[in-house]
Amino acid sequence: MQRIFSGIQPSGIPQLGNYLGAIRNWVSLQADHECIFCLVDMHAITTWQAPEELRRHTLTQAAILLASGIDASRHILFNQSAVSAHARLAWIFNCVTRLGWLNRMTQFKDKAGKDRENHSSGLYVYPNLMAADILAYKATRVPVGEDQKQHLELANDIAQKFNHDYGVEFFPQVEALIPTAAARVMSLRDGTKKMSKSDPSAQSRIELTDDADAIALKIRRAKTDTGVLPATLEELADRPEARNLVSIYAALANMSAQQVLDQHQGQGFGPFKAALTDVVVQAIAPIGAETTRLLGDETHLLNTLRLGAQRAQAIAEPIVSEAEKLVGFLK
Ligand code: ATP
Ligand code: MG
């Protein structure tokens, strides 16, 4: 059975893109993989988080993952900072990765924008920590959204250079599992920007704990053009906002985008948005309700994460200890 590792930052409440790009895939991969799911709190602090918010978001995120169908008794769910192997391997990788490689990372450029001098060095070396997250478990498959593809290619470069520098075939190559539908859900306010849980505008995203009214309002206010839905996908090419709504609909209704157009062509955005709202509410609202129930028992959530961390530690410790030995650290 292949081992999967995947993570999500407790930098906010998970949004629809996280669900379609990652979480939904995680749930189905549980059937035939050994899965390790991580709330990557160390990644979250690469941009400042209010401590109490970070704590709250970590717990809420654990509840959301369980509510979405992650099975923490058969698989592993924990928070990253509880297993020190991540930080230790990340330091080694900081010394393996070349600056030129990091300079090519588009996500750093997107997140730092023009003000790059004022961002943390953690944000810059984030992909090294991400490589360590995966390789500390020698995981071979990583289900992620399309935005993480470049970071996974870097993880493979790091693994290869480590193996080359220390003359051993130690770390495996990893394979990105990117969904075919809605691999990059776009912001509801700007069809050229990806939906993000850390975007300052809550109107730009649907959060997995939004209730039916909040979902309806956000979809009603979503940016669109003044046209109607066309008959073919080609006609959506330069209409990013319309294309995004169609692809969300398709992914949640398990249809192709063309099938959605076949059903709704000629319709204006008023009726289409109402139909989309129904589809989103049906998929998301049960997760919100179950999350609220799970958050009622904080002790149980904390125990679930603690147990997950112990099991994660048991896998990562021997691997990272061996990597440290290969580097020449006294053990
Ligand atoms: P942040 O803004 O803090 O970076 P985020 O919304 O990008 O938050 P992450 O925790 O960075 O979320 O990513 C968790 C997972 O969700 C990753 O696998 C990522 O590829 C996926 N993901 C994030 N945003 C989207 C999106 N808009 N569409 C599809 N997948 C996404
Ligand atoms: Mg992100």
Instruction: Give mean pLDDT, residues 251-260.
Output: 97
Query: Known catalytic residue: 149?
Result: no
Tokens 């004022």 found at: 118
What is the structure's pLDDT at 230? Answer: 97
> What are the domain boundaries of the chain?
3-183+298-327, 209-292
Classify strands 76-79 and 141-143 as parallel, antiparallel or unpaired.
Answer: unpaired
Report residues whose beta carbon is within 6 angstroms of any ligand 1 atom: 8-9, 11, 15, 17-18, 20-22, 144-145, 147-148, 183-185, 194-198
User: Which two tokens mark 94?
Assistant: 């900081």
ipTM of the complex: 0.99
Name the pTM for this structure: 0.96
Query: What does the pLDDT look like over 264-294, one tens digit per residue?
Result: 999 999 999 999 999 999 999 999 999 999 9
Query: Comparing 3-183+298-327 with 209-292, is the CATH topology the same?
Result: no
How far is C-alpha 288 from the geometric centre of its chain's CA atoms?
18
- What would you report as the CA-atom Rg of the chain, rounded to the nearest whole angstrom? 21
Q: For residues 77 and 64, is the Cβ–Cβ distance under 8 A? A: no
Q: Which ligand is nearest to the CA of 11?
A: 1
d(CA 86, CA 120): 19
User: Which two tokens mark 237?
Assistant: 């090419």
Alpha-helical segments (H) within 167-239: 212-221
What is the structure's pLDDT at 8? Answer: 98
Q: What percent of the chain has pLDDT over 90?
A: 96
Residue 263 pLDDT class (50, 70, 90 cuts): very high
- Contact residues for 133 (Cβ-Cβ < 8 A; gap 6+): 5, 7, 38, 40, 80, 86
Q: For residues 231 and 265, is the Cβ–Cβ distance under 8 A? A: yes
Nearest residue to 24 via CA among 191, 160, 143: 143
Residue 78 pairs with which residues in a beta bridge?
Answer: 38
What is the enclosing helix (H) or strand (E) of 91?
helix 85-94
Query: Which of 58, 147, 152, 248 gets mutated to test ligand 1 (max ligand atoms within 8 A of its CB)?
Result: 147
Reply yes or no on whether the pLDDT at 116 is more than 90: no
What is the structure's pLDDT at 113? Answer: 87
Q: Domain 209-292 has what CATH class?
A: mainly alpha
What is the structure's pLDDT at 201? Answer: 95
d(CA 174, CA 157): 10
- Among the listed residues 114, 161, 197, 223, the single catalytic one is 197
d(CA 54, CA 62): 12
Q: For residues 39 and 162, is the Cβ–Cβ distance under 8 A? A: no
Phi-psi region of 143 (alpha: psi -120 to 50; beta: other; left: phi over 0): beta
> What are the φ and ψ backbone dihedral angles of 126, each rounded to 5 degrees?
-45, -45
- Among the listed residues 109, 193, 194, 325, the single catalytic one is 194
For 237, other C-beta atoms within 10 Å of its C-beta total 10
- Which CATH homologous superfamily contains domain 3-183+298-327? HUPs (3.40.50.620)
Reply yes or no on whether the pLDDT at 182 is more than 90: no
Query: What does the pLDDT look like over 33-48, one tens digit per residue?
Result: 999 999 999 999 999 9
Distance 265 CA to ligand 2 centre (A): 33
Residue 14 pLDDT class (50, 70, 90 cuts): very high
